[in-house]
Amino acid sequence: MTLGWRHPFDALGTEFYSSVNPTALSNVHWVAKNHALARAWGWPDDAFDDHLLNVLSGNAVAKGSQPCASVYSGHQFGVWAGQLGDGRALSLGVIDTPLGAQEIQLKGAGKTPYSRMGDGRAVLRSSIREFLCSEAMHGLRIPTTRALALVGSPDRVLREDIETAAVVTRVAPSFLRFGHLQHFAANGEIKALKSLVDFLIDTQFPHLNQVEDGPSRYTALLADITRLTAVMLAKWQAVGFCHGVMNTDNMSLLGLTIDYGPFQFLDGFDPAHICNHSDHQGRYAYARQPQIAYWNLFCLGQALLPLIEDQDKALQALETYQSLYPALADREFAVKLGLTLAGADDHVLIESLLKVLATEKTDFTIFWRRLSHAVAHLQSLGPTKAFEPVKDLFIDGTAWLAWLPRYLHRLEGTDTEQAGLLMLATNPKYVLRNHLGEEAIAQAKIGNFALVDDLLQVLSSPFDEHPRFEHLAGFAPDWASSISISCSS
Q: From ligand AMP, Mg ion, none, which one binds at residue 121 (CB under 5 to 8 Å depending on kind)?
A: ligand AMP
How far, in Å, CA of 365 to CA of 429, rounded? 7
**23 vs 115, which CB is nearer to ligand AMP?**
115
Burial letters for 140-176: b for 16+ Cβ neighbours within 10 Å, e otherwise? bebbbbbbbbbbbbebebeeeeebbbbbbbbbbbbbb
x-or-dash pattern for Mg ion, window 197-236, by CB under 5 A? ----------------------------------------
As measured in angstroms, the least distance from the Cβ of 89 to ligand AMP is 7
Which one among 34, 153, 164, 250 touches Mg ion, defined by CB under 5 A?
Answer: 250
Which one among 22, 58, 67, 85 touches ligand AMP, defined by CB under 6 A?
Answer: 85
Residues 178-207 that bind ligand AMP (CB under 6 A): none
As measured in angstroms, the least distance from the Cβ of 69 to ligand AMP is 8
**119 vs 454, which CB is nearer to ligand AMP?**
119
Residue among 456, 381, 368 nearest 417 (CA): 381
Which CA distances in Å does 60 have to 22, 50, 52, 56, 392?
Answer: 8, 11, 9, 8, 56
Beta bridge mates, 70: 17
As measured in angstroms, the least distance from the Cβ of 27 to ligand AMP is 21
Supply φ then ψ for residue 48, to 5 degrees.
Answer: -80, 65
Annotated catalytic residue 249: yes
Stretch that binds ligand AMP, among 247-255, 306-314, 328-336, 355-363 (CB under 6 A): 247-255
Which CA distances in Å does 111 have to 106, 119, 162, 437, 464?
Answer: 12, 6, 18, 27, 41
CB 180 within 8 A of CB 254: no
Note the residue count of the chain.
Answer: 489
How far, in Å, CA of 377 to CA of 387, rounded? 9
Which one among 86, 163, 259, 279 touches Mg ion, defined by CB under 5 A?
Answer: 259
Supply φ then ψ for residue 211, to 5 degrees.
Answer: -80, 145
Is residue 363 within the footprint of Mg ion (CB under 5 A)? Answer: no
**15 vs 119, which CB is nearer to ligand AMP?**
119
**250 vs 276, which CB is nearer to Mg ion?**
250
How far, in Å, CA of 18 to CA of 86, rounded? 10
Which one among 55, 84, 274, 299 touches ligand AMP, defined by CB under 6 A?
Answer: 84
Residues belonging to the active site: 249
> Where along the sequence are the contacts to ligand AMP (CB under 6 A)?
84-88, 115, 118-121, 245, 247, 249-250, 259, 261, 487, 489
